[in-house]
Amino acid sequence: MEAMGLSPEFWLGKRVLVTGHTGFKGSWLTLWLQSLGAQVSGFSLDPSTEPSLFELARVSEGINDQRGDLRDLGALLEIIADTEPEIVLHLAAQPLVREGYRDPLGTYSSNVMGTLNLLEAIRQVGCVRACVLVTTDKVYANKEWLWPYREDEALGGHDPYSSSKACCELLAQSYAASFFPADKYAEHGLALATARAGNVLGGGDFAPERLIPDVLKAWSADEPVTLRYPQAVRPWQHALEPLAGYLQLAAGLYEQGPEYAGAWNFGPGEADMCSVGEVVELLANRWPQARGLRIEKSDLHEAGLLRLDSSRARQVLGWQPRWTLQQCLTQTLDWHLAWQNGDDMRTVTLGQLNLYRGAL
């Protein structure tokens, strides 16, 4: 039996808007919502990579696929007024740390002003009952201590990407307090939450400067893998893990209102907190012709140690990770090999989604 908020009984016929539906996580989420019977509209720029999961898995089939920029308030007002979503899942963003260094203005513009425009469009139109804004585990003022961060820890962000996402958290807090306060829920009817997830893996991620895409690209070309921070520890998890949390959180907001508002962490178990080098070694065990490693030092700051405490999600939502890191890497590699083999990737992707749903 599927967990709360993950069953077709809840999602069937629900009007849902997904921003960033052409991205890696957005594509997985949109397929999942389709499989649950939701009426999905998507608002996003074109896919940022070629190839992309969105195109390979034919994610646009069966949804209202709209293209646009979150920095265009008029376009957001139009799609929300036209589709009247009951639930909004906001994933659209500039998601890369190193791109944030190269283009800080574009990163802040997309992530901060885009989120602000979405919140304002939701406020003006007034049809949305539940909104989940997806940020990142990097919103915390990371002191690189050993214990995991809880949702009430101080926000920060050393680099422009992390800082821009912390700004989104502050925007959410401000709009919740100013326009959607809990004590006036009967009047406005909207419950708002933010979701902070760790480093996600999975089939169909072709973004540059992410670990697994870089590793698979190098090995496919019979080249060694270049690592910048092999000792860096990250909260690794398959993309479906936090996506399950987002769906459960959205359902909780829809049914229980402000009780489920605020910030939520969705991170892996302690056993899956591994270094970059350890993840590559695990993957190499499954790749028969894996080449060696080379270290390329970078002057750009990236966190060395980051852990999440997901106790709130576990205790309140009943959410928990279902796949070990080894299972996650196996599914990621199997997807990649199926793509190289020329398989139908919509079928493969839905097959892995159904396999994960069977573990719930």
Amino acid (1-letter code) at residue 236: W
* DSSP H or E stretch at residue 180: none
Annotated catalytic residue, options 108, 140, 149, 161: 161
Residue 60, CA distances (Å) to 32, 200, 346 in order: 13, 22, 11
Sole residue written with tokens 């690794």? 236
Can you tell me the distance from the alpha carbon of 52 to that of 22, in angstroms, rounded to the nearest whole number? 8
String of DSSP letters for 39-56: EEEEEEPSPSSSS-HHHH
Residue 300, CA distances (Å) to 60, 97, 132, 159, 229 in order: 37, 10, 31, 9, 11
Annotation marks residue 161 as catalytic: yes
Can you tell me the distance from the alpha carbon of 147 to that of 50, in angstroms, rounded to the nearest whole number? 39
- Helix axes of 240-256 and 24-35: crossing angle, nearest 10 degrees: 60
Q: Which residues are catalytic?
A: 161
